[in-house]
Amino acid sequence: MNKAFDLKTLDALKIDASFINALPGDPVTENYTRQVARACYSHVTPESFPEASLIAYSKDIAQSLGLDPQECESELFTQVFSGTRLLDSMRPYACCYGGHQFGNWAGQLGDGRAINLGDVHAPDGKLWTLQLKGAGPTPYSRSADGLAVLRSSVREFLCSEAMYHLGVPTTRALSLIATGNQVVRDMFYDGHPKKEPGAVVCRVSPSFIRFGSFEIFSARKEQDILKTLADYTISRNFPHLGKPGKAVYLQWFREVCQSTATMIIHWMRVGFVHGVMNTDNMSVLGLTIDYGPYGWLENYDPDWTPNTTDAEGKRYRFGNQPMIALWNLVQFANAIYPLIEEVEPLEEILQEYKDSYEKGWLEMMRSKLGFKESFKEDEALILSLIETFALTETDMTLFFRQLAEISKDSEPVAGLHTLEEAFYMPELTDEARQGFTSWLQKYLARLGKETRSDDARKAAMNDVNPLYVLRNYLAQLAIDKSELGDHSMIEELLEVLHSPYSYQEGKEHLAQKRPDWARIRAGCSMLSCSS
């Protein structure tokens, strides 16, 4: 792939509408807020933004779609991916779905500010759905405006691409476009509404179907539609499973559970906190979807959530994500139960999720610590590291990169010196010093059992422990500049985050601990659902 002659202009892209051709749609075509019964989608036209301008695009995803990246700089591209102009083959629609929000059934949600443009047949045979986020209201907008602000759009655009290059399953982003219009938002829901610049992101994914896409039809007892949607999903995204039937639905559920486990293990590996793991934000493909008030662990704290809307119960805190994913899978199991009508096999598969998560997490943590071999004592050593982290604020990303620098035959005191860069406090307390020294003693003893050389272990550790992640304050700095019309930091981050595991000369400033000013600044450590 990626040969120049393979790449097409926008007009030449092969786009179709498999979703709307295969599934029942809403007969009402006017765009007003409503409950939509017995339909998977509603036809809707995006808003027009004559002043739209391109901020950034992803060359990679353009190429994957078979689109010549140069096309991304054309006026037509900005018009199409702001929603202002449609290509002839596009028949835009918004999907109907429901969901459990913060543990409660919320009824119909749907694409309130997402509009699908259609499916692109990529040169590699893959089918990718293109979806605009923030291009205007739909029948599912409820009381909201269907728009998105620049700050949340920058965050979604950058993080989708960053996650992809970290090796975390995710939806992708093709473009980030300023609409030229203002959007009013009360960022912390405290009576201080403000005008902010608006933007549209074009998201790209093999599917945007969520757990909530099935929950809505099950809750409404529209079982024929539930089945039609399940069969469509299986034939499009799980074709290897064969012709749908009870056994295939179960195998499908198993794959959803397994891919969800894999995704969460990756989140735990890189220190990602989604922030709003409602069932409408869970992809059936196990992709990270709907980047809202997400955040990256700076100091390792399992209780941390960036989402101020969730500050009280901290339901979606870092350490709770595996459990919440299971809770969400239970809701998904309930939703597809009418297709299976047997509880036991579903429960068995949910148990498999728990087992594979635990096993996979342990493997992942072993790899972060540089263990090739596996020993029984490893789990205790890993758990004791997590306890030790609580003794002083320790930057998760820098800690694991520094750990890779320690050689097998080091003394614990020298090892501690190597780790210093990762600690937020300039001086460790006695308790923290002792805690880390005693952990290092055990770690070094364990390293002694490894047959790999220091260099080989370091290389392997640096392949799973990123150096560059989209630190919360870095995203905020890029947003601050972008709001003033300077998009250079978005470009810089996009480029550096393309190779997050490799040291990049001159980019040291993007691999630093969170500065003190960012500790309590909105957007850096505190985000709300307002976007």
Residues that bind ligand AMP (CB under 6 A): 109-113, 140-141, 144-147, 276, 280-281, 290, 292, 529
Distances (CA, A) of 312 to 102, 304, 306: 12, 11, 12
Which pair of tokens denotes residue 443? 């770690």
Q: Which does 215 bind (CB under 5 to 8 A by kind): Mg ion, ligand AMP, none?
A: none
Give the C-alpha separation, 163 to 500, whole Å: 9
Type of residue at 136: G
Could you tell me the smallest distance in angstroms from the CB atom of residue 91 to ligand AMP?
Answer: 20
Which pair of tokens denotes residue 525? 């450590």
**φ, ψ at 478 (rounded to 5°):** -65, -40
Q: Which does 146 bind (CB under 5 to 8 A by kind): ligand AMP, Mg ion, none?
A: ligand AMP
**Which residues, numbered 156-195, are part of the site for Mg ion (CB under 5 A)?**
none
Could you tell me the smallest distance in angstroms from the CB atom of residue 210 to Mg ion?
Answer: 8
Sequence-ordered alpha helix ranges (H) in 238-375: 246-270, 321-340, 343-369
Q: Which does 415 bind (CB under 5 to 8 A by kind): Mg ion, ligand AMP, none?
A: none
Could you tell me the smallest distance in angstroms from the CB atom of residue 204 to ligand AMP?
Answer: 18
Q: Which does 111 bind (CB under 5 to 8 A by kind): Mg ion, ligand AMP, none?
A: ligand AMP
Could you tell me the smallest distance in angstroms from the CB atom of residue 145 to ligand AMP?
Answer: 5
**DSSP per position, 116-136:** EEEEEE-TTS-EEEEEEESB-
Residue (102 or 375) nearer to ligand AMP, CB:
102
Q: Which does 322 bind (CB under 5 to 8 A by kind): Mg ion, ligand AMP, none?
A: none
Which pair of tokens denotes residue 100? 């459990």
CA 107 to chain centre: 24
Strands 114-121 and 15-16: antiparallel
Q: What is the dihedral of CA 530, 148, 233, 31, to 10 degrees?
A: 110
Residue (145 or 454) nearer to ligand AMP, CB:
145
Catalytic choice (68, 231, 280, 310): 280
Q: Which does 209 bind (CB under 5 to 8 A by kind): Mg ion, ligand AMP, none?
A: none
Give the C-alpha separation, 214 to 206, whole Å: 17
Give the C-alpha separation, 389 to 25, whole Å: 52
Residue (71 or 111) nearer to ligand AMP, CB:
111
Q: Which does 112 bind (CB under 5 to 8 A by kind): Mg ion, ligand AMP, none?
A: ligand AMP
Give the C-alpha separation, 406 to 419, whole Å: 9
Q: In 3D, which of 117, 195, 108 has the Cα closest to residue 151? A: 195
Find residue 133's DSSP bridge partners.
114, 201
Which pair of tokens denotes residue 373? 């071999």
SS3 43: strand
Could you tell me the smallest distance in angstroms from the CB atom of residue 19 to ligand AMP?
Answer: 17
**Which residues, numbered 254-313, are part of the site for Mg ion (CB under 5 A)?**
281, 290
- Terminal-residue alpha carbon distance, the chain: 36
- Whether 280 sits among the annotated catalytic residues: the reply is yes
Burial status of residue 62 (CB atoms within 10 A of its CB: 0-12, 13-18, 19 or more): buried
Residue (12 or 144) nearer to ligand AMP, CB:
144
Under the rule (CB under 5 A), what is the footprint of Mg ion?
281, 290
The set of catalytic residues is 280
